Structure formats: C-alpha cells, structure tokens
Amino acid sequence: MANPLYDALFAIHENKQNSFIIDPLSGTSLSYGHFVKQTAQFANVISDAGLVPGDRLIAQVGKSVSALALYAGAVRSGVVYLPLNTAYTTTEVEYFLQDSGARLLVCDTVSEAGLTPICKDHNAAVSTLSTDGKTGTLIDLVNNASDSFKTVDRSADDLAALLYTSGTTGRSKGAMLTQNNLLSNAQALHKLWQFCDKDVLLHALPVFHTHGLFVATHVCLLAGAQLIFEPSFDTDRIIKLMPHATSFMGVPTFYTRLLDQKNFNNDLARHMRLFVSGSAPLLADTHTLFEQRTGHRILERYGMTETNMNTSNPYNGERRAGTVGFPLPGVEIKVTHLDSSAELPTGEAGQLEVRGPNVFKGYWNMPEKTQKELRDDGFFITGDIAQIDADGYVSIVGREKDLIISGGYNIYPKEIELVLDHQPGVTESTVVGVPHPDFGETVVGVLVGRKDSINIQQIEAAIAESLARFKHPRQIIVVDSLPRNAMGKVQKNVLREEYRHLFNSAK
C-alpha cells in the first residue's frame, strides 16, 4: 500500500536540492528536499499529539511556508486537513470544531486565549502558529522533531481534506474530499495548463481555500515548479515580483487592482505565459482591458468546494470572455431542468450537474443532504445555473439560490448584470431578488461607480431596449462597494437581507 497524494506531490522531491519556495527580491529560497524534511517534522508532531489516520486537524492560521508544511504533514500522517478562513470568529470556529470532531486545532498565537476554552469543551488540543509561520508552540515542537517519518499508508478513497462551504444559506456543510479527488484534479490541470519545472508561479491567494491550497500548489508540486509564496495580495509588491514569474493565479479583484496601476503594462508582463482567474466571475470588460494592456488573455476556469475544478478555457485555443470553457479531461457535465432533471437542449439555461473523479464523497454528517445533491449515477447537482453554447463553451448564469421568480417568471440575474455592467459610469453591478407583495419577488439592481457619472434614467432606457419588462429592476441603487467574501465573491445574501423591506408598502 502507499499514500497516493503524498507520494505524487511530495515524496518525489525527497533529497532534491532545486528551489521550491523563492523570494526573488531578497534572494532567499527553500529547496524541495528541505521542505520534504519539514513535512516529516510536522507529521511527527501531529502523530505525537495522538492523532491517528482519519482524525481531523483544524488549521486557522495565516499563510506561510509552515502552514503549507502543516498541510503536507497531515497528508503524510493520514490525518484529514480542515483549513479555516482566518476571518472566522470564535463562535464560528466552535461550530466547525464541534461538527468535525477535530482532535487538534492549530491557530494564530493571538487567537489562542479565545479558542482554548472551546477546545477544552470539545476535547481538542490547541497549538499555535504565528502569522509569519516562524514562532508558536507548534513550531517549538517541530524544531525538536525528527525529520524522518514513515509515511502512513492510505488508499485513493480515503479522506484527505474536509472543506466547509461558506454557509450563506443555512449552516456550513463539510465537503469530504478524498486523496483521489485532489490528485486526479491536480493531474488534469497540470497537463492542461502545461506546467513544467521551468515555471515560477506568483502565488498571492489564501491557503484556506481550494484555489490557493490545492489548485495553485498542487500543480507546482507535480511539475517541480517554483513558488513565489506571498502572504497576501499587495499590488505594489506583485508588480515588483511579476518580472520574476511565468504564471499567476488570482481572483477578479486581483486583476482589476492591477489594471488600476498605470505601470502595469505589456512590458511588465512580457515574461508571463499564463494568467488564471477563478473563484468569482470575471467581467468581460476586465478580460478585454487586460488583453489590451498586456497582450495576454486571462484563462478563466470554474470550480467549487465540492469538486475542485470542473471546467477551464483552453490553454491553446480561444479563451472566450464570459465563459468558463470546457469540461476538464475525465469530467462530464450536463445542464438539466430544475424540476424534471431532464437534460436540456444546447443553449438553454438550467442547473449544472458534474460527474468525475474530482467530485467529493459527500457532506460530513449530512447523509440526507448528500443523497439530495449526489445522484445515484454519480452526478453532483452543483446549484449553479449554466448554459452550454453550440461550440461547447460553458457559461455560468448564476446560482440556483439567486434565481428570482417574479410573478411566475424565472429571472437569471446574470442576464441583467451583463446589461448593467456596460452602462456609462458603472464599474460593476449585481442583481438580487427581494420580497414584493404583488409579485412574490422583484428585481433590485445594485451598482458601483461614481454617483455623479451614473444616469439612472439612461440605464433604465438601455434596459428597456435590451430586456423583457418582467426582468427590469424595480429599483436601482448606487453604492460605494459590494460586500464580498474572502475569495472576492459578491455576498448576495447580505444585499438581499439589507433590501428585503424595500417594497413592504408597494402595491
């Protein structure tokens, strides 16, 4: 027996002296071989804490090389890794701790006092790791641990990670991801995006999320590529580092911030071969402006917590703005009717279903929810509304929970947002449904832009020319910014709650 995920990602680099983590500005680097020794030290500390294969380890820590080694140590010791957003409160962490039954929680040193009592209540140990990854009770133990460890045998179907959804509707669900879920997805992306040992990935994503922890790091590990491992996205520093990189992965916000900088241009990006965007929709205007400025077309892909990546625009071929490309090799998708589950004709919008080795095992402690969303034939109902065009490109129209049903008509917010985004003075937009006494729900458009340059009457006229009357926003509101989560996704639930009483007296 073996440990497929560890063997493919980490064991292959044992004793190798080529650089893994680099900082071109300071000239420092960490070799692959040294990092693998660190994984052994972390694995020893995890095992010495009494955790056995299948136990859960929660990590609510800042981004650092030590945090990455902690993840690798969990994989090596057969422990299920559960990363948490560093913004979660003590109350939220307690839910994850109780629900997962985790036996060890690793947190930032500043959070120790608040989290220790709840860990005691749930029979979990606490260890600390500073934001920079250099100090804490965990590091004290690691520094004294052996750099030799007998990797624990695991099968491809064993759990490797437990990732909780954002929980915007109801309580968060823990997605159970197996070794093969993660490995098969990494192998598909590695090949599709053509990563090799000459690549240098500029990594500015958080590592509590699929995008930063699995997609970005796994493809580099498989390829033997180098990582510029930035603790967060800092525009000035990213611009300084970009000439030393060949690839970059980000969320749309990263790209809009780069485009705001006058010195971000073709010359700065001439060494790059690939820009990838995901985790939230990329505006077509951003796609176009980026190409005009740099000569590069951003490669947009689509994934989710339960499946990792499902689709990608092609590496070679047309990267079509407004779409998320084609299914990954080995992944099947279909668009079905919301009620009958019958597959819909090309071009029609419906619920997106996906099947493949990347699809999770189910929801932790939620057999009924698992049965509801995972069909007997292996297709997972994503909750996303999508359509597939005649060329096979997939477009995400919105989330099923964001679907607006007004007066019996189905309204997809994305269709309205595309019109709003193209109006003069509008930087970005979102559309939500709110309660209405006559229609059940009605449409509200929320815009970001300079209030003195947005003409509401002009926008309403443009909507009247483009969309059927039942799709027209009953009210358009201009705000300074849209609420977003850590990965840049607009939190429509927050807006629905904020404007839910807007039409209480409407008749």
Task: Please name each of the domains of the chain with its CATH number.
Answer: 4-14+31-154 (3.40.50.980), 192-399 (3.40.50.12780), 403-498 (3.30.300.30)
- Which of 24-28, 185-189, 473-477 is predicted most confidently? 185-189
Mean pLDDT, residues 459-465 taken together? 89
Mean pLDDT, residues 284-300 taken together? 91
CA distances from 39 to 45, 47, 149, 178, 224 (A): 10, 12, 9, 20, 16
Asked if pLDDT for residue 170 goes beyond 80, the answer is no
204-248 pLDDT, tens digit each: 999 998 999 999 999 999 999 999 999 999 999 999 999 999 999
Give the span between the Cα atoms of 61 and 139, in whole angstroms: 13
Give the span between the Cα atoms of 405 and 411, in whole angstroms: 6
Mean pLDDT, residues 330-334 taken together? 96
pLDDT value at residue 13: 97
The secondary structure of residue 283, as a DSSP letter, is: P
| 169 confidence band (pLDDT: 50, 70, 90) | very low
More confident residue, 107 or 435: 107
pLDDT value at residue 408: 67
Residue type, 458: Q
Output 275-278 pairs: Cβ under 8 A, ≥24 positions apart: 275/247, 275/248, 275/249, 275/250, 275/299, 276/193, 276/247, 276/248, 276/249, 276/250, 276/300, 276/301, 277/249, 277/250, 277/251, 277/252, 277/301, 278/211, 278/215, 278/249, 278/251, 278/302, 278/303, 278/309
Specify the pairing of strand 104-107 against strand 125-128: parallel
Q: Which residues contact 169 (CB under 8 A, 6 or more apart)?
A: 401, 493
Asked if pLDDT for residue 166 goes beyond 70, the answer is no
**Residue 205, SS3 per DSSP:** coil
Q: Where are the beta strands (DSSP E) in 240-347?
A: 247-250, 274-277, 299-304, 308-312, 326-327, 332-336
Is residue 128 within 8 Å of 67, Cβ to Cβ?
A: no
pLDDT value at residue 134: 94
Closest by CA to 35, choosing from 70, 83, 77, is: 70
Give the span between the Cα atoms of 394 and 311, in whole angstroms: 8
Closest by CA to 190, choosing from 152, 222, 168, is: 222
**Angle between the N-to-C axes of helices 65-77 and 32-48, in degrees from 0 to 180, rounded to the nearest 10:** 60
